[in-house]
Chain A
Amino acid sequence: MTATRTPSPPGPTRPVRRLGDRVFAGSARGAGILILVILAGVAAFLVAEAVPAITAPAEEIPGGEGLTAYIAPLVFGTLLAALIALVVATPLAVAIALFITHFAPRRLAQGLGYLVDLLAAIPSIVYGFWGISWLAPKMVPFYRWLEDNLGFIPFFAGPTSATGRTMLTAGLVLAIMILPIISAISREVFLQVPTLHKEAALALGATRWEMIKMAVIPYGKSGIIGGSMLGLGRALGETLAVTLVLSVSGGITFNLISSGNPATIAANIALQFPESTGIAVNTLIASGLALFVITLVVNMLARWIVNRRADFSGAN
């Protein structure tokens, strides 16, 4: 709805507005502005602190090859780990949400819902420990198999890491971490699908799965995308788990199961920051700025995808 402002009639007549309405409108507007101020503040800090690194001569940047050469592998590693997480987690999370809302018996559904929510409450350091001490060693035989059988695909070219601390392991740990967010939001939107639409599909002779394809998933699509973007945000920024799990050495590579992996931005900052001084700190902050921009772009992209078919969202 768009409100059209009619020209106010001449004279001192003004619309009556209650005090409560004014207070509420003011505080809501204030909260909205505060968000913008905080965002602008963070952006300003990052830019100001990154400028020395951007203007510095290439040989002063850690690594000695300039800022771009320093940040590029980090950006690549960040995106790759987050992408693996998203690709693994989204279908799984949607399937869990569908099972809970449409297939599971009511009592089981409730328990399962709590359980998935509980996953979100586990601190990331625990996921990191679990990843390095349990998941990574367990994955090694699987990676060997991948190398032997699917080695012609660049992702699985090997040589297989002996510790299992690979990009794929990091991506899988991240996937489990973002699973509850995506699944919780998908579950909420699936529950909101009006019975009317579901019955419309059933009355046309849809099976339960066809009903879900026809009425539930399209209606919940913006929710699934929104949840995935929240999950992606967490995966992009996740520090501790990746720092623990990923064995870092080397630069850009699509090889997911070897021991030479690019770091992610957040993990790299966590590792390098305590021992950095001078221009090295500015370099790290510049990488932080890159992460900030990536997150912003990803979110705007998601918003654009959702809005592109706003007429068909079911919200009208």
Chain B
Amino acid sequence: MAKRIDVSDLNIYYGNFLAVEGVNVSIEPRSITALIGPSGCGKSTFLRTLNRMHEVIPGARVEGKVVMDGHDLYGADADPVDVRRQIGMVFQRPNPFPTMSIYENVAAGMRLNARRMKKSDLDELVERSLRGANLWEEVKDRLDRPGSGLSGGQQQRLCIARAIAVEPDVLLMDEPCSALDPISTLAIEDLMTELKERYTIVIVTHNMQQAARVSESTGFFNLNGVGQPGRLIEFNPTEKIFSNPDQKATEDYISGRFG
């Protein structure tokens, strides 16, 4: 549960294009780490390398090391499927499986692990995960209905329930609130604060207030120009980033004097 991730000298490529260059960062367990920066700076790309979702895109590859509790995720013996079972992900747009019920959506990850589970155990797991995602009270009477019938915010919490049902070590969130209204956003943020007791959470966000509200550490990504690789400009405690950043570029971005 809740493991630490150390990234060293990570270069991320799409084919021959160097998208993100030279990332060195340590992500602490049981905390929320926020990644901010302008569009196209590579923060989502970086996030996707943490659970090897990056390489799903044809031609995408990385150089460097991502080590989770001493275990190299890109080592010769590392299976991307295993990596993804340990590091869950929530996407920008809510994506519950439309062909499955709410119950089946939550149980989907468990079924993948091919563990034979008793119905009662599975029921309990589904309830626990939905409670964990603060969704249980809203859906307990319609677990057999399609997940796509829920509102956007509920769908996103369903996706979080699905991700935490397999009890991952780390939870990656790629702009999880960008498609949601402020009330649903608040619900997700409260949820993140609860979840960080048990998980390592990394969140990409365009909303700087959100980063300031929920995270312990913040990383600022930027790029020098179009066609240039993105870089991690600064990584510091959130309080410091938002009050007294080390880099001029960070201050410019945060204060809205960007460019």
Chain A contact residues, CB within 8 Å of chain B: 194, 196-197, 199-207, 210, 214-215, 218-219, 221, 311-316
Contact = CB atoms under 8 A, between A and B. Distances in A.
Contacts of B97: 197, 200-201, 214-215, 218
A214 to B, nearest CB: 6
Given A199-B95, A200-B97, A202-B84, A311 B112 contact: no
B95 A196 contact: yes
B114 to A, nearest CB: 9
Given A202-B84, A312-B98, A312-B99, 16 more contacts: A194-B95, A197-B97, A199-B95, A200-B95, A200-B97, A202-B53, A202-B56, A203-B51, A203-B88, A204-B108, A204-B112, A204-B166, A205-B86, A206-B112, A313-B99, A315-B98
Interface stretch (B125-133, B145-153, B186-194, B251-259): B145-153
B99 A218 contact: yes
Contacts of A313: 98-99
Contacts of A197: 95, 97-98
A206 B51 CA distance: 13
Contact of A214 (B84, B85, B108): B108
10 contacts: A200-B96, A201-B97, A203-B51, A203-B88, A205-B81, A205-B166, A206-B81, A206-B112, A312-B98, A316-B149
Contacts of A201: 97, 108
Contacts of B166: 204-205
Which one of A201, A203, A312 has the greatest number of beta carbons of chain B within 10 Å? A203
Contacts of B91: 196, 199-200, 203
Contacts of B198: none
Count chain B CB atoms within 10 A of each CB in A205, A218, A221, A315 and give the residue with the most. Answer: A205
Interface in B136-180: 145-146, 148-149, 159, 162-163, 166
B100 A218 contact: yes
B41 interface: no
B89 interface: yes
A214 B51 CA distance: 20
Given A215-B97, A218-B99, A203 B112 contact: no
A207 B84 CA distance: 10
A199 B101 CA distance: 18
A12 B165 CA distance: 60
B98 to A, nearest CB: 4
B109 interface: yes
Given A214-B112, A311-B145, A203 B53 contact: yes
B82 interface: yes
Nearest to B51: A203
A316 to B, nearest CB: 5
B221 to A, nearest CB: 21
Contacts of A219: 98-99
Contacts of B82: 205
Interface of B: 51, 53, 56, 81-86, 88-89, 91, 93, 95-101, 108-109, 112-113, 145-146, 148-149, 159, 162-163, 166
B99 A205 contact: no
Nearest to B99: A218
The 10 closest A-B pairs by CB, nearest first: A205-B85, A218-B99, A314-B98, A203-B89, A205-B84, A196-B95, A204-B109, A200-B95, A311-B146, A312-B99
Nearest to B56: A202
Contacts of A314: 98-99, 148
Contacts of B108: 201, 204, 214
Contacts of A200: 91, 95-97, 159, 162
A215 B108 CA distance: 11
A205 B109 CA distance: 7
Nearest to A309: B99
B47 to A, nearest CB: 11
A285 to B, nearest CB: 44
Nearest to A210: B112
Contacts of B53: 199, 202-203
B222 to A, nearest CB: 26
A130 B163 CA distance: 54
B148 A316 contact: yes
B103 to A, nearest CB: 12
A251 to B, nearest CB: 44
Contacts of B51: 203
B179 to A, nearest CB: 11
Contacts of B81: 205-207
B154 to A, nearest CB: 14
Nearest to B147: A312
B94 to A, nearest CB: 9
Contacts of A315: 98
A199 B54 CA distance: 10
A123 to B, nearest CB: 38
A198 to B, nearest CB: 8
A221 B109 contact: no
A206 B81 CA distance: 6
Nearest to A203: B89
